Amino acid sequence: MSSTILEISDVNYLKNGITQLKDVSFSLRRGESITIFGPEGCGMSSLAELIININTDFEGEIYYKGDSLKDFDYMDKLDYKKDVGYIHGDFGLLSNMTLEQNVALPLEYLSQKSSEDIKKRINCLIYDLNLDHCKKLRPVDLTRSEILKTAYARAIALDPDFLFMEQALENHCHLNIITLMELIKERSRDEDKGMIVITYRPEKFIDISDKYIMFFNGRIVFQGTKKDFIDSDNPYLVQYRNNSIEGPMPIL
């Protein structure tokens, strides 16, 4: 089993003639959690587009468990979708389905589990996330934190090796998502799993992340450990940590 889940190698990406990513390289190993952050328009969303949507219109390579995304055929892409849990800030729940039906979707369409096993898995996820009281409700009747926890349950329903969260935990009441944060922290300790979090609030993941990567203008301007994130005098990082207008990043 490869120890590296995801490898980004010398990626350059242009969209509509504008550089989105430039000379981007990093890797995610099993048992590792990475927090990626930076100001709006820094390139994080473009990176997510390549990884999640399997957009191969870029220079360089993206490898998943040693295989290039550029070489994926239809079945490879389907297997990849099964193996990657994804949560976006818009959550993407289906409005005409109940909470438990939303969670069941990947199990029903992408697994070979029996109806009984699917029900057991759903009930376990709902119980762990304290969602029993609202499992028959549709998204319109759920609170923001309940919607987030439902999206998380759906993302990990197939127990993926790789969890990718893109600005999914922004603007949430911390008290309402303590249960979720504890489960994410527990998952981050699994030596067989890997996790990437994209966020504007990297400090919220200090108890979860092993590595921090900062983007600006499509480039990586800082990459280091949790201790580096706290102590480094990197000017981009210092400006971001201090929410300052003084520094190498122009504030519009």
Task: Please check whether residue 10 lies inside any domain of the structure.
Answer: yes
Asked whether residue 186 is domain-assigned, the answer is: yes
Asked if residue 205 is part of any domain, the answer here is yes
Rounded percentage of the chain residues whose pLDDT exceeds 70: 99
Task: Report the pLDDT value the prediction gives residue 168, as an integer from 0 to 100.
Answer: 87
The answer to whether residue 140 is domain-embedded is no
Residue 228, in any domain of the structure = yes
C-alpha separations of 221 from 38, 71, 73 in Å: 9, 30, 34
Cα–Cα distance between 8 and 134 in angstroms, integer? 40
| Sequence-distant (≥ 6) Cβ neighbours of residue 111 within 8 angstroms | 82, 118, 158
Question: The sheet that has 33-37: what strands, in order across it?
Answer: 84-88, 162-166, 194-199, 33-37, 211-216, 219-225
Asked, for residue 64, whether it belongs to a domain, the answer is: yes
- Residue 251: pLDDT over 90: no
Whether the per-residue pLDDT at 201 is higher than 80: the answer is yes
CATH number at residue 221: 3.40.50.300
pTM here is 0.94
**Structural domain count of the chain:** 1
Residue range(s) defining the domain that contains residue 48: 4-90+160-241
pLDDT in tens, 92-127: 999 999 999 999 999 999 999 999 999 999 999 999
Asked whether residue 37 is domain-assigned, the answer is yes
Q: Is residue 199 part of a domain?
A: yes
pLDDT tens by residue, 209-241? 999 999 999 999 999 999 999 999 999 999 999
